[in-house]
Amino acid sequence: MKDICFVFMQGYGPQSVEEKQRLYMLLRNLNFNGESLPASVSEPYTPTAQKFGSGTSAEGLYSPELRGELGAGLLDLHAMDDTGLLSEDVDSEPFEPSPFMPKEIDDDEDDMITGSQLGPADNYNAVTSEKEISTRENNVAKIKVVVRKRPLNRKELSRKEDDAVAVHDSSSLTVYEPKLKVDLTAYVEQHEFCFDAVLDEDVSNDEVYRETVERIIPIIFQRTKATCFAYGQTGSGKTYTMQPLPLRAAQDMIRLLQQPVYRNQNFKLWLSYFEIYGGKLYDLLSDRRHLLMREDGKKQVCIVGLQEFEVSDVQVVREYIERGNAARSTGSTGANEESSRSHAILQLAVKKHIIVTETRRQRDRDANEAKNTKAVGKISFIDLAGSERGADTTDNDRQTRIEGAEINKSLLALKECIRALDNDQIHIPFRGSKLTEVLRDSFVV
Ligand SMILES: Nc1ncnc2c1ncn2[C@@H]1O[C@H](COP(=O)(O)OP(=O)(O)OP(=O)(O)O)[C@@H](O)[C@H]1O
């Protein structure tokens, strides 16, 4: 079997329920974990208005039993913010629309989903045209789902396994699912999917960067936060895909920092890296120091004690990333010898350093100007731990199974939050896991 890793991009700024629901729609159908694939799909699933327009055609895809055990992921690292974004004193070009936003938007069609276009089996809530309009007008959160196919690994090749995924073009693929009839005759079911982008197995990490992160780097300097996360089952290539991205992003950010417009404003780049392992937070750049998560008076989640480092050199960024990677919790699963056993979160924050004059007493004491910083924008890279099927755990020891259970639990909690959002529930179960607690603000508009 070939596996697929999803790279999901989320632009920050004001977010709408509609965008999040759309993401949920996209991702909850992406469980290629053998047993959770749809039993029968007569038409391809397309996460755009055109396909939703087909009414019941893809009905089977949306029934709860076909969603699979571990569904979608939706992350937002407002949660990690203990400071609001700088709202003034930033000289920049006018605020840019999302790089994922089509330049020209046709009023009545394309990428927006209308209530009338939804299939009856789907309890996706109708999106009113009024909301659509306001969404467009506000240029709100932009989501991009990119799928990367990985090549067969040595084990799969030696077992002469079939290639289960065929990439057709830059936005669609087919998954071939081997099945057995009741009389044990083998047959293959085909499932077609469309995404914002599909990258074939020969695509390099550099191309992944260009397709996903590159375009949002400039807007991080314009009071924007973005999150890129990798979702997929264990061994699907999440870490392989995610690890090079922050370094490439840092390279571009450092280059931008040299530009007079940002240099003159004293913009600097800061890096932090932590993981959520077994429901606990650890600083990967500070000897795995146990971190505590607290809520402040404004119900903002703060990670107390998380170390941030100012970086101005790509080589230094590389060293920090390597140090953090080395500190990450890894283990071995049936599907991946070097499996990440944690959710890793690397953040690159642009901050404006403000020279402030302290109180008279302090000034007298210090006679120096004190420095202060204010967040301008931030990009977060999240390498989620892989979801695991029962079949992946047969060879695992007790510890690995416990870890797997914890990982699945947290991804399930993530799914529950997204499902609650999808159902417009008032109560969103953030407290289901540390992951969802930390990412709480992503579910709150
Ligand atoms: N696109 C690719 N091209 C070549 N090799 C790949 C690709 N994707 C993944 N691999 C290889 O597959 C193996 C598993 O990848 P990786 O560790 O990134 O999976 P993962 O999804 O992070 O798994 P886990 O959730 O268990 O941590 C690694 O040896 C990696 O080098």
Q: What's the ipTM?
A: 0.97
Mean of the pLDDT values across residues 378-388? Answer: 81
Q: Residue 24: which of 320, 348, 420 has the closest Cα?
A: 420
- Sequential DSSP letters for 310-336: EE--HHHHHHHHHHHHHHS-EE--SS-
Q: How far apart are the first and last CA of the chain?
A: 39
Q: Any idea where the domains of the chain sit in the sequence?
A: 4-443
Percent of the chain with pLDDT over 90: 29
Q: Residue 252: which of 215, 208, 204 has the closest Cα?
A: 215
Q: How far is the CA of 240 from the centre of ligand 1 (A)?
A: 5
How far apart (Å, rounded) are the C-alpha atoms in residues 240 and 253? 22
Q: List the CATH code of the domain at 4-443.
A: 3.40.850.10
pLDDT digits (tens, 9 = 90+) for 205-251: 999 999 999 999 999 998 887 878 788 888 889 889 999 999 999 99
How far apart (Å, rounded) are the C-alpha atoms in residues 286 and 30? 36
How far apart (Å, rounded) are the C-alpha atoms in residues 148 and 8? 11
pLDDT at 370: 47
pLDDT digits (tens, 9 = 90+) for 94-149: 444 555 555 443 443 333 323 333 333 333 343 334 444 444 434 444 578 899 99
Choice from 336, 383, 410 to test ligand 1 binding pocket (greatest atom count within 8 A of CB): 336
Q: How far is the CA of 147 from the centre of ligand 1 (A)?
A: 14
pLDDT of 176 above 90: yes
pLDDT at 308: 94
Structure tokens at 91: 């000289």
At 94, phi and psi to the nearest 5?
-55, 155
Q: Residue 270: which of 213, 382, 353 has the closest Cα?
A: 353
pLDDT of 45 above 90: no
Q: How many CB atoms lie within 10 A of CB 284?
A: 26
Q: How many CB atoms lie within 10 A of CB 307?
A: 15
Pocket (CB within 6 angstroms of ligand 1): 5, 150-151, 153, 201, 232, 234-240, 333, 336, 338-340, 385-386
pLDDT digits (tens, 9 = 90+) for 240-263: 999 999 999 999 999 999 999 999
pLDDT digits (tens, 9 = 90+) for 54-71: 333 333 333 333 333 322
Could you tell me which residues come within 8 angstroms of residue 57 by beta carbon, excluding any fewer than 6 positions away? Answer: 42, 43, 51, 119
Q: How far is the CA of 241 from the centre of ligand 1 (A)?
A: 8
Q: How far is the CA of 60 from the centre of ligand 1 (A)?
A: 31
Mean of the pLDDT values across residues 174-190? Answer: 91
> Which residue ranges make up the annotated binding site?
232-239
Among 23-27, 359-363, 413-417, 427-431, the least confident range: 23-27
